[in-house]
Structure 1
């Protein structure tokens, strides 16, 4: 039996492959911890990325930037005033996002109209979000369901010693299409209910996750750049 959830998560990070719908050794796979996109903090988020994955773009788009992008994308030409009516945001905030999107060549401006120049190419093919708990399956299920806003698959992973109450209520996991699995201290992972993949409830949240993946890669490159082996 695990003593803390942190201990459970550490073990799960080394034994999560059975939860994924792809071969994590042959496909590009990224794992993030404590992911907060506004719907609670997911303990682990695992993403399968396209073979063309490239995180060299150093400009990070936030949720508002992506909202503006989707507004422009869904129109054949939109003005600043029209964007303001939709978002109810300040001119300053809207202009800042528009300038960033123009700089990154996602949109362009013709007279007073903004149009799509290049389609945003997110690199995520599949995402599994995990809520890990020692035994509180009801709370875990509530949290895991919220991750479906950005993830195509969502799981609750419990300590194998405390799984029986959740198993007796497996219909709740089936109802909300949230996976259920257990993990033991020796790393043994047992998938009890495997959900089917669904499109995220909010595509902007998936794009935001893509931006978070880019940021994590850039942070790694910065740490690597600053690392020197003494002679």
Structure 2
């Protein structure tokens, strides 16, 4: 039915226009064609609270999570001992940034998490769109389970019958048919993301682009 994947994704985007949807979001394991944030109100509140401040890499997220458990503060040496991060990177690309955005406080040579700064746990649906190559779509979609609660492959309705549903069930990947009508052929069960760092990373990347965000309509975001 569709000439290009872009045309099909545009139809899918229109179908989800009332949801909080982002197009082409990079995750470190490929670029998901669509990402839907289901806890929309909480995410918008999170954006407002952050006021543009964001964690820019996975090491910053790891250090912030580590500090959440250390109420009495942590020395630089202890951070080095507990993470595979070079001292130079830890100091200049991780801690300096966390302090600059107010996520971490340094006092008496100890590092503390700012209790007013928090991470956001998004309820994420990721969708990989393919015209007819369900195998390639499935392979990519499996990678998105590292950060998303539900993952789908969307196929042109003219080719969706070719998909092996048993393979989709095996990996808990949902299947969507896209045509004049959008149909969920196989639902994806909700399951915790495999990598919590990547789960938080999606939220941080969206905050990074927050000046471009508009919660009332689809925006195209490239990372």
Normalised by the shorter chain, which TM-score bucket?
A: 0.7 to 0.9
Query: Shift in Å at residue 182 of structure 1?
Result: 0.6
SS at match of 2:15: coil
Contact 1:50 1:123 in 2 (8 A): no
Say yes or no: does 1:145 pair with 2:135. Answer: no
Gap runs ≥5 in structure 2: 215-223
Give the alignment of 1:139-178 within 5 angstroms: 139-166=136-163, 169-178=164-173
SS at match of 2:123: strand
Counterparts of 2:66 and 2:28 in 1: how far apart (Å)? 20
- Aligned residue in 2 for 1:32: 22
Query: Shift in Å at residue 14 of structure 1?
Result: 0.3
Equivalent of 1:94 in 83, 90, 95? 90
Query: Shift in Å at residue 204 of structure 1?
Result: 1.6
- Aligned residue in 2 for 1:72: 67
Counterparts of 1:94 and 1:198 in 2: how far apart (Å)? 33
Per mean C-alpha deviation after superposition, the further-off stretch among 197-206 and 137-146 is 197-206
Give the alignment of 1:1-231 within 5 angstroms: 1-16=1-16, 25=18, 29-48=19-38, 49-51=40-42, 52-55=45-48, 57-62=51-56, 63-76=58-71, 77-96=73-92, 97-118=94-115, 120-166=117-163, 169-184=164-179, 186=180, 188-220=181-213
Identify if the C-alpha distance between structure 1 residues 148 and 33 changes in structure 2 by more than 3 Å, giving closer, same or farther.
same
Per mean C-alpha deviation after superposition, the further-off stretch among 108-117 and 174-183 is 108-117
Counterparts of 1:120 and 1:137 in 2: how far apart (Å)? 41
Q: Could you say what the CA RMSD is over the residues aligned between the two structures, in angstroms?
A: 2.2
Counterparts of 1:172 and 1:74 in 2: how far apart (Å)? 40
Per mean C-alpha deviation after superposition, the further-off stretch among 203-212 and 132-141 is 203-212
Identify if the C-alpha distance between structure 1 residues 70 and 53 changes in structure 2 by more than 3 Å, giving closer, same or farther.
closer
Structure with larger RCO (C-alpha < 8 A, sep 6+): 2
Per mean C-alpha deviation after superposition, the further-off stretch among 156-165 and 120-129 is 120-129
Q: CA-to-partner distance for each residue in 1:96-126, whole Å, 9 max, x for gaps?
A: 3223223333333343432323265344542
Per mean C-alpha deviation after superposition, the further-off stretch among 73-82 and 130-139 is 73-82
Query: Shift in Å at residue 31 of structure 1?
Result: 1.7
Counterparts of 1:150 and 1:119 in 2: how far apart (Å)? 25
Query: Shift in Å at residue 154 of structure 1?
Result: 0.5
TM-score by length of 1: 0.80
TM-score by length of 2: 0.82
Per mean C-alpha deviation after superposition, the further-off stretch among 138-147 and 97-106 is 97-106
Identify if the C-alpha distance between structure 1 residues 70 and 87 changes in structure 2 by more than 3 Å, giving closer, same or farther.
same
